[in-house]
Structure formats: C-alpha cells, structure tokens
Amino acid sequence: MSAMEGSSPEPGGRADTARRRAVRADERATQETATAERHERLFVETGRVLHSTMATRHHAIAERHRTTARLQQAYARRLVEAEGTDDLLSPLFMAGVAEACGTLSAALTLVGPDLSQLSVAASDQPSRGAQDLEYVLTAGPGRDAVHARLAVYASGPVLETRWPGYGSGIAALGLTSVAALPLKVSSGCIGVLTVFDPPSALARSGKFSEVAAALADGVLIGPDADPGLYGGSDLRAPVHQAAGVLSEQTGGSVNDALALIKARAFASGVPLESVAQRVISGELKLR
C-alpha cells in the first residue's frame, strides 16, 4: 500500500497546516531557550553543575524544535510551489529533509524490534532504490546504525568492503557515500535517517544529528506527529502479505518465503513491491 502526498486535493490547506506546525515548533523552541537561559543564570549564581547540565539539555531541545520548524516551513513552501503541477505527486516532505542535509537524496525508514523495515519514505528514486537494496540484502549502513544506535558514515570502496553487494548496488544508482543516523527515542530506536552523497563539511558539523533528532521527536513522535510523513511514506505491508501467500503455497516458513521474494527482486532488478504484487495476484509462482 502506498499513500503519496499527492492524494490530497487541497495542497493549500496542507501548506497552512504545515505553517501552523512550524509556528508551534518555534514557540516550543522559544520556551526551551528561556528555560535554558534561566538555568545559565542559576549556574552563575550558585555554581551548581546541575544547572549547567540542564541549560545544555534545554538548548539542545530548543534547537531540535527549531529544526522541526524549518522542515515544516520547507514542506509548506514546496506544497505551494507544486500546487497545480505534477510535482504534488513527488515526496515533498522528504525532499525538504534532503535539502536540509545539503543533498538531493535522503530516506527515512521505520523499523520493528527485529530491525525489519516497516515503512520507508525517500526524497527521490536513487534513495528509494538504496533502501530497497538494503531491505533485500538485510545489510547496510541503516541497519548497522539502528543496531548500534550510532551514526554510520562510509564512502567509496569502503561501502563494498563493509557491505558486499550493497556498495556496488548503490554505485549503480549513482550514489557514492552514505551517512546513516539512528532515530532515537526514550523507548529505544524507531528507525534511521539515511543521507546519500552528503557534503563532507555538513556531515561533520552535527547537522544530520539535529535533523534526525527533529524527525524522531518532532515529526514521528510528539504533539504534531505523523508517522506516515504526511502521506509520503510507503508501508512494507504488501511484501509481508506476499510472503504469507507464498508460505501457504510452498508449505515453507514465512521467513523463507520472504527470502525468496527478496531474491527474485534482487536477481531481476525490479522493485520489491512489484514482485510482491505479482505473487499476491497469482501471476508469479516462486519455488
């Protein structure tokens, strides 16, 4: 199932909603900054390290809210620019995320407890292809970032050395470097932001961590949360449905059926969802 942003007939209304989200995020940032400054004054007055720690924490939260506001403003701007054009069918929110990271290609993936991809949103075809490749191979920087809950950076030959098959696969998509940032929340890690071909200076600046934190705590979770990224996220449900169908046909396990579907997609070079839909419809039989 795919719910793309162009499904709504009222882009102007969505732009207004995004602007309101941006205003609320800015207001939260202002509140957090005021709290941080109060702790800074208390630190000067008392010398208690606790106040210095709290000031740092509230400044970080304020920056997270400001980043959320910028993402919502970028989304509203893109909605207005795309109104009346075919661009409304493109992943506008993720295009803004990629822009914030200084590139054209970025993807966000939500994962389950077993690290399986539950849904994916991408700014363009190369980034979506890279996420599909990682899903098929069950290996790649995003998976490692979620598992270790640490940022992963790799480029050039290191990509192929570290993840055989993945490196050559994304090279064929025209991508040469990757930054993967875990989306951490209080309960654990809910996914990963993967940025492709990022400017090296920006990658070293900590900007990507700010964007990942804003996505986790301001877009996916929080008062204005929308895990579907405003219609721009695709669920992996058809793939798992197809695995169930194939499991019934073959008498094997669902995991084995899923492996067969992934292998067919990888070998034929077609999108995973296309293979899944053919299995569900009965057009494709796998053994």
Could you list the pLDDT tens digit for every one of the 287 residues in the chain? 334 343 444 656 888 989 999 999 999 999 999 999 999 999 999 999 999 999 999 999 999 999 999 999 999 998 888 887 766 556 789 999 999 999 999 999 988 777 777 788 999 999 999 998 998 888 999 999 999 999 999 999 999 999 999 999 999 999 999 999 999 988 788 899 999 999 888 877 888 999 999 998 888 877 777 766 766 666 665 665 666 666 667 777 666 666 666 667 666 666 666 776 677 667 667 66
3-state secondary structure of 109: strand
Neighbours of 280 (CB within 10 A): 16
Question: What is the pLDDT, as a whole number, of residue 1?
Answer: 36
d(CA 275, CA 242): 9
Question: What is the pLDDT, as a whole number, of residue 237?
Answer: 57
Question: What is the pLDDT, as a whole number, of residue 40?
Answer: 96
d(CA 31, CA 25): 10
Question: What is the pLDDT, as a whole number, of residue 222?
Answer: 74
Which residues, in sequence order, are CB contacts of 226 under 8 Å at separation 6+?
A: 219, 220
d(CA 115, CA 128): 18
